[in-house]
Chains A and B, each alone.
Chain A
Amino acid sequence: MPHYMLAAHTRQEDTAPALTDEEMKASWQRIQRVEADLKSADAWVFSARLHDPDTATVVRVSNGDVLTTDGPFAESKDHLGGFYVIEAADLDAALAWAARVSEAIGNPIEVRPFAGVAWEPGG
């Protein structure tokens, strides 16, 4: 079965007012519901949340020298905040899950098909 990444992109200087505790709780409950449904539909592979891009470090090797720079690789207002990896029969099925996740977290979701998935080195 094909794998897809459902990537949640967030905007750094989002001017939207911060969520109240109530809203936060409601959003969290919605997310938990979607995740439970992903699990019971055998679509769940794993999920991850990332720290902000200002915690990122980029490493480059040039002529044997290691160059380390502070900050993300691409300067952008939008950044990857977290993602799900799911299994779905086809793009329509993946888009349907993406719609549910987007509704739960209130952010757009980018759906990307995996070109390959390896569970072992060289797999």
Chain B
Amino acid sequence: MADEARANGAPSPIDPCEVGRIFREESGRSIATLIRRFGDIDVAEDAVQDAFAIALERWPVDGLPPNPGGWVTTTARNRAIDRLRRAARERELLGQASVMGPQPFDRDAPEEVGPVQDDRLRLIFTCCHPALAVEAQVALTLRLLGGLSTSEVASAFLVPEPTMEKRLVRAKHKIRAARVPYRIPEDHELPARLPPVLAVVYLIYNAGLNGRAQSALCGEAIRLATVLAELMPDEGEVAGLLALLLLIEARRAARTAPDGSLVLLADQDRSRWDRGLIAEGHAIVRACLRRNRPGPYQIQAAINAVHADASTFQETDWAQIVALYDQLLAMTPTPVVALNRAVAVGEVAGPAAALALVEDLELDGYHPFHATRADLLWRVGRRAEAGIEFQRAAETAQTEAEREFFGLGGRWGARSP
């Protein structure tokens, strides 16, 4: 029978690694659907895990099903029903299994059809609910939507696995006990509820950017941002975040030298920038400009688009960048934005002007502040003070590559002969 099916055009068998990859891509959607159906995160997770075990057995032999996502959801749903029926000899579990919104679980009930509301959107708003700590939001998002295992999430954030396990269990318990709702916020709630979602995705990207071993997180963040942009096409900030990530990603390969050391924007080999990603990012930024409802992510994307436009550091349209930072600073008046604006001002009006802007910022201990101040001090000729400030940058840096880079005096250091 199986041979016959294959002869009739069924896809050829696939290897287990490929099963894992496809499964991870599809699992977020399945988990999200099952949480809505069964009202419980653990039930959904266990069922999808069951389906994965079955897929590992069957797909390498029978080949990929025509609609892998649908297969995972249906298989997991049936496994969940089996499990619950078995457990339902004690009736109360049946009662408990509908905490987040009762849905009858009947194997023969038709699946919802029509304009399907993607459940992943509900799930990300639950994972990133402001009642949960940011670390819990990030962990839940990667575990439930990204399909990462607990140990993968733990190693991505350099946390022991039992600690991460506890964090996830605690967060899921709070969701259940306090009844964090499983729904998409209404329009009037979005201004409060969307920022933490975007912040979590951006945080995941930056965790990947700053740790070489965790670079898979960059891809995961872009995947999440892409899903969000598809599901919320009217939200300019969602598009802005996606564009921002694509434009930073385009330069990621060029920011590390072959020996692992950091390469600043000024010194990057721009032929190594990914033109495809830049074009994608540019297209989104242009669409945002047409929409004309700017927000912090859109402006940061626009700033990165200006950088991507310049064929050399010197040819960068710094006046345009300063203007964008003015807009960003007005919207989010934080010392970090003021620092980045000062750097751009330095390229237009010289290091002395930038230094004056940097001096009053309260950012002690934030390594980009010390690195920037060191660089500006060096450029105005205050070399001794610059040396002290470079040491401070090295002490506060987050990664080994950065510690080494600043320890040697940044881009003015004696690294190259």
Q: Which of A21-29, A55-63, A90-98, A101-109 contacts B (4 or more CB under 8 A)?
A: A90-98
Give me the 5 closest cross-chain CB pairs, A-B, nearest first: A90-B181, A113-B178, A90-B179, A91-B178, A91-B180
A41-54 near B? 1/0 per residue, CB < 8 Å: 00000000000000
Sample of 15 more A-B contacts, CB < 8 Å, known A111-B178, A113-B177: A4-B178, A89-B181, A90-B180, A90-B181, A91-B129, A91-B131, A91-B178, A91-B180, A91-B181, A92-B180, A92-B181, A95-B131, A113-B178, A113-B179, A115-B177
Inside 8 A of B129's CB, which chain A residues have their CB?
A: 91
- Cβ of A94: which chain B residues have Cβ within 8 Å of it? 178
| Cβ contacts under 8 Å, A90 to chain B | 179-181
Q: Which residues of A contact B131 (CB under 8 A)?
A: 91, 95
Prevailing SS type, chain A contact patch: mixed
Interface residues of B in 243-296 (CB under 8 A from A): none
A72 sits at the interface (CB 8 A): no
Is A2's CB within 8 Å of the partner chain B? yes
User: What count of chain B residues pass the 8 Å CB interface test?
Assistant: 7
Residue of B nearest to A114 (CB): B177
Residues on A with C-beta less than 8 A from B179 are 2, 89-91, 113
Whole-angstrom distance between the Cβ of B202 and the nearest chain A Cβ: 24
CB distance from B361 to the nearest CB of A (A): 30
**Separation of A92 and B129 alpha carbons in the complex (Å):** 10
**Can you offer 6 A-B residue contacts whose CB atoms are under 8 A?**
A89-B179, A89-B181, A90-B179, A91-B178, A95-B131, A115-B177
Q: What are the residues of chain A within 8 A of B181 when measuring CB–CB?
A: 89-92
Within 8 A of A (CB), among B158-193: 177-181
Within 8 A of A (CB), among B124-165: 129, 131
Residues of B contacting A4 in the complex (Cβ-Cβ under 8 angstroms)? 178
Distance A115 CA – B179 CA, assembled complex (angstroms): 11
CA A89 – CA B178 in complex, angstroms? 10
